Structure 1
């Protein structure tokens, strides 16, 4: 499940690099922004008919004013609220990314990648502390975890219980990845994006509307980031203002491991990083799970410095 999140979130990061040619350090805070926006709507819908204050619901229970468990938030207990949250998480992240691109990135798009990278770090700090100012600094539980139904799946040495939140994350992530594959390989927009990633100047000469491609790059990348962040929160059950920042490094590791600029590489790299972090706790202390994931990345890159999908910038 963690690997699916890293892969889904890493797609947008990889697309930004391959088409806009810079590492977007504000990507993690787009994940957080989408999570909070989606959860605000989820709280609002789940809180209809309760005594919870409207402002408290919109602020996702800031200050412990209302809790997700008391609202019965979950895929099984409040499916309409969760579906609305997924939609709003994606749309809000898209609108925010388009606004930031219009105000911040577009005026300096012709500058070097380092300039854009440093600018993205500034945008990340601005978003992060704006989220903290509005929603508060407290970590909060946002789901009614005790009431999540599970499904027993036969395994090699017994039974594995998979709860409905895990199933939901799997279905959403795989569906979006499959949809993106279809878009890249079967549509004019996808072919234009692949052409621009391969050679921007040649794409402009041949009449490809590069500005439109850039706009859809932000739309797709940010939309996936927002949905991924929201589904991760539903699966994990907690939400806090610097969550995206903490998750950004493993997402970067997944993108680099898969081959930076490769969308399919980001998916495979995310699965490897996520599974390594989860499986390593069998042999290592929990605090070293991230170190184990980065060690795997280093070992793979020593053997194949270009990443797993080297040379495949968009496919």
Structure 2
């Protein structure tokens, strides 16, 4: 090929590229800008690793923390998405079901761990007096008190389910045909009532619930870190097991098929004889149980909690549900992973008090390109 031919081909390539760009819609062009921005950040990440500005262990820690945060967000988000897909309303009291699981589950764990040492009142009410117990004194960690923590986990789910079913019976069942807006407003009232009932019973003070987490240091050489927090590892193992179990239930059981059918078309489900009230009962049971477990595991990870723990988490839960696609359980999982990992990995470039802003900014950018969410807004379980 001669020099002239090469010179002639360059304007043609430029013109072709210009034509392709001009043919893109505004939404497609915006998506291209987002992809280019992510590519630039990834290149900068590689540069930092190569130049030694970012240690591989630090990056791994960010990714691990992102996974931990993603999983407890996912447990709560899946429950919220199930409620929406079956009952068709945004349940703003879902965050306070998370709080219910945190308080009730750890009250039971403390009761078992401190039985015979402190009074029942001091243990169940997390007595804040100087002579009262603390999580450290009770040995609330997965090695020192495994039975207490396991029983507390189960009771967090069961007691949260009981509260959710009572709320449904007293409030939501009576408003089943009132429409999504009326139910949404009712759920805000339920959230406030539940939160302050918890505050009246347990006080509004923050509580330190656990002892310091045991650290596993004797690790094989192929593990990319030198130490593992056993509370975080326990959270990850339990959350993955519950998510896998829910997947099996939805895909391979009669109940799961009925739930998916009702999520697709409630009227058709009624015509075909699917017992809708049983499906609604199962939805509340599973969704509330996951929310209660999420609250309990958050405390296991963070070590302390207050009556606002679920309310503050609610925005991230909704963000994960919307980002993944409202009504899609698998979308809620994907959205949670994006939110949790973005919050933590963004610390490479921005201060810690701005990391949630990065997650919400990414969510907004993605929704501009895909308004129905990452999984296309599939409104099925």
TM range (shorter): over 0.9
The partner residue of 1:204 within 233, 249, 270 is: 270
Q: Could you say which structure has the greater relative contact order, defined with CA pairs below 8 angstroms and 6 or more residues apart?
A: 1
Q: Quick check: 1:143 aligned with 2:210?
A: yes
Please give the alpha-carbon distance, in whole angstroms, between the structure 1 residues aligned to 2:302 and 2:357.
21
Q: Which residue of 2 aligns with 1:105?
A: 172
Q: Which residue of 2 aligns with 1:174?
A: 240
- Look at both structures and tell me which one has the larger radius of gyration over its CA atoms: 2
RMSD between aligned residues: 1.5
Deviations 1:238-264 (A, max 9, x none): 111110000010011001111110001
Deviations 1:257-280 (A, max 9, x none): 111100011111111111111222
Q: Which residue of 1 aligns with 2:378?
A: 312
Please give the alpha-carbon distance, in whole angstroms, between the structure 1 residues aligned to 2:241 and 2:221.
24
TM-score by length of 2: 0.79
Equivalent residue runs for 1:15-30 within 5 Å: 15-30=82-97
TM-score by length of 1: 0.96
Q: What is the deviation of 1:112?
A: 1.3
Q: Quick check: 1:38 aligned with 2:100?
A: no
> What is the DSSP-based 3-state SS (H/G/I as helix, E as strand, rest coil) of the residue aligned with 1:159?
coil
Please give the alpha-carbon distance, in whole angstroms, between the structure 2 residues aligned to 1:56 and 1:267.
38
Name stretches of at least 5 consecutive residues in structure 2 with no aligned partner.
Answer: 1-67
Q: Quick check: 1:228 aligned with 2:294?
A: yes
- Alignment check: 8 A CA contact 1:69 1:143 kept: yes
Q: What is the deviation of 1:160?
A: 4.8
> What is the DSSP-based 3-state SS (H/G/I as helix, E as strand, rest coil) of the residue aligned with 1:306?
coil
Q: Which residue of 1 aligns with 2:200?
A: 133
The size of the alignment, in residue pairs, is 312
Instruction: Go from structure 1 to structure 2 and tell me whether the alpha carbon gap of 1:163 and 1:216 turns closer, same or farther (over 3 Å shift).
Output: same
- Alignment check: 8 A CA contact 1:140 1:238 kept: yes
Instruction: Go from structure 1 to structure 2 and tell me whether the alpha carbon gap of 1:246 and 1:311 turns closer, same or farther (over 3 Å shift).
Output: closer
Deviations 1:269-305 (A, max 9, x none): 1111111112222221211111111111111111111
Name stretches of at least 5 consecutive residues in structure 1 with no aligned partner.
Answer: none
